[in-house]
């Protein structure tokens, strides 16, 4: 992680931090490397099939009737129909679960990304009394296993009077700081040039303005990463929303909702496949849309 102070950088290095790493001159592959690559692909393809198969299967099943699903192993032999989706959305309440999940995920992203960015900003750019203590607390968050917090959180949400609303789940999903995200922000803000701040101060900009107008917009790649990580976390989390909605089926999120439908619709593979696709698709689309930022700032963080 970047702990060194800010190095003065020219404007080109800001672009570099913003986008790709400095381009390395492309090197022509040697013959032996091409052969190795071909062999590698040959070995990897069947393995990749094992990883992708359940997704292909669930998607194709979602478009088939139950009779067709059982008839053949070939996923592409059906007459396509959307009946499963209609039944999942209305009969099985996936529509409600979908909207619940969007609310919980959206609120928790706003909350957690804001909180983590603010913390990362002051850690990355300022020296202040108590800074060491903050790092110690962050280290505690990493090292203390979080598995046994669910019972007190269940109790806390109840005591706050939030057990009957989606706000309680959203708040719990935002949870405490995410150490990885805070450190990503810290490292990123630390390496942005100080001159920006000085110039803004000349123009009379205050602390908040410098943060909101200058540094925060520059941190787009880390913001994207923070959004993806929290999106994945809140969209997929299971234990906490399960516990918080045990007596509130109406508040269930997709991850909990599908699980709760499992026994009821066990023989209805077509509809369960449609329900699963509804839960899977948004997260896959968001990832594909933002993955450029994701991989980059991840390797940036490890490198730093």
Partner 1 sequence: MAVAPPPARASRARRKDLLWIYLFILPGLALTSMFIFYPMGASWYFSLTEWNGFSDAKAFVGLANYRELIGDGFFWGSFGRSMIFVLIGVPLRVGLALILAIVLNNVIRGRLSTFFRTVFFLPVMAAASVIGVVLTFVLSPGNGPIALLLETTGLTDTPVEFLSDPDLALWSTLLLHTWKNFGMTLIYWLAALQTVPPEYYEAAEVDGAGAVQRLIRITLPILLPFAVIIIVLTANENLHAFALIQALTGGGPYYASEVVEVYIFRTAFAPDAAGGVPRLGYASAAGCFFGMATLIIALLQAWALKLVAAQRARLDR
Task: Report the distance separating Cα 232 and Cα 228, nearest Å.
Answer: 6
State which residue, 63 or 182, has the beta carbon closest to partner 1: 182
Q: Is the Cβ–Cβ distance between 140 and 203 less than 8 Å?
A: no
Smallest separation (angstroms) from partner 1 to the CB of 123: 8
State which residue, 194 or 213, has the beta carbon closest to partner 1: 194
Residue burial 195-210, b: 16+ Cβ < 10 Å; e: rest: eebeebeeeebeeeeb
3-state helix, strand, coil in the chain (%, to 5): 75, 0, 25
State which residue, 81 or 134, has the beta carbon closest to partner 1: 134
Task: Report the distance separating Cα 96 and Cα 257, nearest Å.
Answer: 9
Expressed in angstroms, the distance from the first to the final Cα of the chain is 4
Q: Is the Cβ–Cβ distance between 160 and 154 less than 8 Å?
A: no
User: Is the backbone of residue 3 left (phi > 0), alpha (psi -120 to 50) or beta?
Assistant: alpha
State which residue, 219 or 279, has the beta carbon closest to partner 1: 279
State which residue, 80 or 132, has the beta carbon closest to partner 1: 132
State which residue, 269 or 293, has the beta carbon closest to partner 1: 269
Task: Report the distance separating Cα 89 and Cα 279, nearest Å.
Answer: 11
Smallest separation (angstroms) from partner 1 to the CB of 222: 15
What is the three-class DSSP state of 175?
coil
Smallest separation (angstroms) from partner 1 to the CB of 100: 14
Smallest separation (angstroms) from partner 1 to the CB of 142: 9
Smallest separation (angstroms) from partner 1 to the CB of 243: 6
Smallest separation (angstroms) from partner 1 to the CB of 293: 14
State which residue, 24 or 31, has the beta carbon closest to partner 1: 24
Smallest separation (angstroms) from partner 1 to the CB of 6: 6
Q: How many residues does the chain have?
A: 304
Smallest separation (angstroms) from partner 1 to the CB of 239: 5
Tokens representing residue 99 in the block: 């909207």
State which residue, 73 or 80, has the beta carbon closest to partner 1: 73
Where does 126-268 have alpha helices with state H?
Answer: 131-143, 150-159, 166-174, 179-190, 195-202, 207-209, 216-218, 220-236, 239-244, 254-261
Task: Report the distance separating Cα 163 and Cα 155, nearest Å.
Answer: 9
Phi, psi angle pair for 64, to nearest 5°: -115, 160
């Amino acid at each position: 992680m970047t702990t060194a102070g800010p190095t003065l950088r020219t404007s080109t290095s800001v672009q570099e931090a913003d986008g790709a790493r400095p381009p390395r001159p492309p090197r022509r592959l040697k013959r032996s490397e091409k052969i190795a690559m071909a062999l590698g692909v040959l070995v990897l393809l069947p393995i990749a099939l094992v990883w992708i198969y359940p997704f292909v299967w669930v998607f194709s099943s979602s478009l088939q009737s139950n009779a067709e699903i059982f008839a053949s192993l070939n996923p592409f032999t059906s007459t396509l129909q959307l009946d499963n989706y209609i039944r999942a959305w209305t009969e099985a309440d996936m529509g409600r679960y979908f909207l619940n999940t969007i609310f919980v995920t959206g609120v928790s992203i706003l909350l957690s990304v804001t909180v983590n960015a603010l913390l990362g900003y002051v850690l990355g750019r300022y020296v202040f009394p108590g800074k060491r203590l903050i790092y110690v607390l962050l280290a505690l968050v990493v090292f203390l296993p979080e598995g046994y917090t669910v019972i007190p959180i269940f109790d806390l949400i109840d005591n706050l009077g939030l057990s009957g609303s989606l706000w309680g789940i959203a708040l719990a999903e935002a949870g405490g700081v995410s150490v990885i995200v805070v450190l990503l922000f810290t490292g990123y803000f630390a390496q942005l040039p100080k001159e920006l701040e000085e110039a803004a101060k000349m123009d009379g900009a205050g602390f908040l303005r410098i943060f909101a107008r200058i540094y925060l917009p520059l941190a787009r790649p880390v913001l994207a990463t923070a959004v993806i990580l929290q999106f994945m976390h809140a969209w997929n989390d299971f234990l906490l929303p399960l516990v918080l909605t045990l007596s509130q089926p109406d508040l269930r999120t997709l991850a909990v909702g599908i699980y709760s439908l499992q026994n009821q619709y066990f023989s209805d593979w077509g509809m369960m496949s449609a329900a699963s696709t509804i839960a899977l698709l948004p997260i896959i689309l968001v990832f594909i849309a933002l993955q450029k930022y994701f991989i980059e700032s991840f390797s940036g963080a490890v490198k730093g």
